[in-house]
Amino acid sequence: MTHTIILPVLLPLLTALVLLFGSRRSLAWKRGVSLAATAALLPLGLLLLQQTYSGAYGVYALGNWVAPFGIVLVLDRLAALMLLLTALLSLPALLYASHGDDHTGPNFHALFQFQLMGLNGAFLTGDLFNLFVFFEVLLIASYALLLHGAGPARSRAGLHYVILNLVGSGLFLLAVGTLYGITGTLNMADLAVRVAAAGPADAPLLRAAGLLLLVVFALKAALLPLYFWLPRAYSAASAPVAALFAIMTKVGVYSIVRVYSLIFGAQAGLLADTALAWLWPLALATLVLGALGALAARELRTLIAYLVVVSVGTLLAGFALNNNAALAASLYYLLHSTLVAGGLFLLAGLIRTQRGAEGDQLHPAAPVSQPALLGSLFFIAAVAVVGMPPLSGFIGKLLLLSSVPPGMQLIWLWAIVLGSGLLALITLSRAGSQLFWNTLEITPVAPRADRLRLAAVVLLLASAPLLSLFAEPVHRYTQATAAQLYAPAGYIHAVLGARDIPRLTIGPEERP
């Protein structure tokens, strides 16, 4: 029995507890522990990715209770990809936080680790109720992080965030309750089997529950009309927290992909493709409104927050296309958009500290102290996020555009993706020219950027050229991931394969 599958959950949890026990120790000690544990997630993520590379599933039955009765963690390609992505994003974010933002309130590092635990658990679990539990861990930790080093803007945006998400949690429970009431199970693989077998009498209730889940996930993912909380919340957060939050919307996207490919996917009988008809128009509308919001933004951080909304629209439009190539493209785009958005949030933090009282407002102000360096980094990030060649955003868009078969969908997707690309180009060229060119004749007084903070930004932004350069192997993996997702029989078999083992009469000693 290999326990590596559960380590991405337990390692952050234990680290958080250790940090709490040492809550009176020095900040340096906390930083060291937190960074070491987060760094360890990276080789762990690689190891798990390597385990799924062949297409094998890892199933971890908690408490040794066989599925569907106990909770299982399931490692497949998608889960491994998300775990690695979380590790790749969180280490630079933490590195950045370790040079300033972590001392504005108590227990930052413990909360950060709890957040990682929630993220990793959500990606690993194979149980719908357990997903709810990890959503709660995520939510409450992210709320605490969001309010960290509070201010009025942060508190207000944070309040909206937490109240809406609590309502979302309530809806999640309603949906899970309904599904459990009809199918009698919580295990996602088992749900997939039972939903597919549902008769016409039960189908409407299951559809209602399935779509209720879509509402919950759409709120998390920030899909129209439920994204309005995001721009304020993300732009109010401190730079490293905002960077980490780049993956929070992706948890919603992940859940949508997971649930609507596994449980309500193509093979779900009467409930096949429950969500797609809703996702397609909403995703495209999100894309358009996000791009317009970015154009209207008056602060760099708000602008980036809208770009996060744009990326969600792009990703879900790709998933709604419902084909292998489009999903593979979306997953590639997911990697790119998460890392680059994270890098941009960190960079915005650097720019903000160097521009004096004007912060990241997009109007003429004092120049930053390191215009060449920050300007170049901004240029690279902007090129990546707009989707201009030769960086990862371009490859992602290219993959997505070429994945759609000719027809009405093609016209809509191309027009909107390319049109919003043009809007983003205009938006970012204006922002960059405001920040770095249109400066007042003042000698900058702000100190130069901290080296490790710079390193954090560079690490995240390096993903753009690297993902582009190694597009082939990355895309091969996301293609395999998409293929695995669209063939959920493998998942179901891996989880439920041993369900017929009789275990009614065995005592504790003989438990398998």
Q: How far is the CB of 237 from other proteins (least distance, A)?
A: 14
Question: What count of other Cβ atoms lies within 10 Å of the Cβ of residue 49?
Answer: 17
Burial (0-12, 13-18, 19+ Cβ within 10 Å), 20 = middle
Amino acid, res. 320? A
- The type of residue at 133 is V
Shortest Å, Cβ 366 to other proteins: 14
- Residues numbered 468 to 487 that lie near other proteins (CB under 8 A) are 471-472, 475-476, 479
Q: Closer CB to other proteins, residue 92 or residue 224?
A: 224
Longest Cα separation, the chain: 83
* Stretch touching other proteins by CB under 8 A, among 89-97, 101-109, 235-243, 341-349: 101-109
Please choose, from the candidates 245, 384, 402, 395, the residue with its C-alpha nearest in 3D space to the C-alpha of residue 318: 402
Nearer to other proteins, 379 or 452 (CB): 379
Q: Rule CB under 8 A: is residue 62 a binding residue for other proteins?
A: yes
Structure tokens at 59: 């199933």
Residue nearer to other proteins on the CB measure, 86 or 92: 86
Token representation of residue 267 = 């093979």
> Residue 42 or 205: which CB sits closer to other proteins?
205
- Closest approach of Cβ 490 to other proteins, in Å? 21
Residue list 410-429, contact with other proteins (CB under 8 A): 414, 418, 421-422, 425-426, 429
Q: Among residues 48, 71, 262, 335, which is the contact residue for other proteins, using CB under 8 A?
A: 71
Residues shown for the chain: 512
Using the contact rule CB under 8 A, the part of the chain among 49-57, 81-89, 206-214, 241-249 near other proteins is 206-214
Nearer to other proteins, 92 or 320 (CB): 320
Residues 155-184 that bind other proteins (CB under 8 A): 156, 159-160, 163-164, 167-168, 171, 174, 177-178, 180-182, 184
Question: Does residue number 106 form part of the binding site for other proteins (CB under 8 A)?
Answer: yes
Rounded CA-CA distance 147/137 in Å is: 16
Nearer Cβ to other proteins, position 82 or 137?
Answer: 137
| AA letter at 274 | T
3-state SS assignment for residue 61: strand
- Minimum distance from CB of 148 to other proteins (Å)? 7
CB of 235 to other proteins, least distance (A): 12
For residues 8-47, which are near other proteins according to CB under 8 A? 10, 13-14, 17, 20-21, 23
**How far is CA 383 from each of CA 16, 388, 425, rounded to the nearest angstrom?**
37, 5, 8
The SS3 of residue 360 is coil
Burial of 202 (0-12, 13-18, 19+ CB in 10 A): middle
By CB under 8 A, residue 64 contacts other proteins: yes
CB of residue 325 to other proteins, shortest distance in Å:
9
Q: Which of residues 362-381 bind other proteins (CB under 8 A)?
A: 372, 379
Per CB under 8 A, the segment of 44-52, 138-146, 315-323, 447-455 that binds other proteins is: 138-146
Q: With binding defined as CB under 8 A, does residue 212 bind other proteins?
A: yes
Segment contacting other proteins (CB under 8 A): 25-33, 205-213, 245-253, 353-361?
205-213
| Positions 426 through 445 that interact with other proteins (CB under 8 A) | 426, 429-430, 433, 436-439
Q: CA 38 to CA 92: how far, in whole Å? A: 10
* Phi, psi for residue 331 in degrees, rounded to 5: -65, -40
Report the site for other proteins in 242-301 (rule: CB under 8 A): 278, 289, 292-293, 295-296
Q: Which is nearer to other proteins, 92 or 318 (CB)?
A: 318
Residue pointed to by tokens 């709890």 = 114
Quote the CA–CA distance of 300 and 131 in Å, as a whole number: 33
Under rule CB under 8 A, which residues in 310-349 are in contact with other proteins?
none
| Closest C-alpha among 414, 420, 390, 412 to residue 402 | 414
Strands (E), 62-206: 72-75
Using rule CB under 8 A, residue 50 touches other proteins: no
Picking from 260, 178, 188, the residue whose alpha carbon sits closest to that of residue 221 is 260
Q: Is 174 within 8 Å of 158 (Cβ atoms)?
A: no
Q: Which is nearer to other proteins, 50 or 433 (CB)?
A: 433
**Sequence-distant (≥ 6) Cβ neighbours of residue 54 within 8 angstroms:** none
Q: Is 125 helix (H, G, I), strand (E, B) or coil?
A: strand
Q: Is 402 in the site for other proteins (CB under 8 A)?
A: yes
Q: Which is nearer to other proteins, 220 or 258 (CB)?
A: 220
Residue with tokens 């994003």: 89
Is 140 a binding residue for other proteins by CB under 8 A? The answer is: yes
> In this chain, which stretch among 41-49, 135-143, 248-256, 259-267 interacts with other proteins, using CB under 8 A?
135-143
Gyration radius of the chain over CA positions: 22
- Who's near 79: CB < 8 A, 6+ residues apart? 48, 52, 123, 124
Using rule CB under 8 A, residue 231 touches other proteins: yes
Q: Which stretch binds other proteins (CB under 8 A): 25-33, 46-54, 204-212, 452-460?
A: 204-212
Alpha carbons 72 and 63: distance in angstroms, whole number: 9
For the bound state, the minimum distance from the C-beta of residue 341 to other proteins, rounded and expressed in Å, comes to 19
Burial-class residue 270 by CB neighbours within 10 Å (0-12, 13-18, 19+).
middle
Query: Applying CB under 8 A, does 383 fall inside the site for other proteins?
Result: yes
Quick one: 180 or 486, whose CB is closer to other proteins?
Answer: 180
Binder to other proteins among 315, 321, 399, 457 (CB under 8 A)?
399
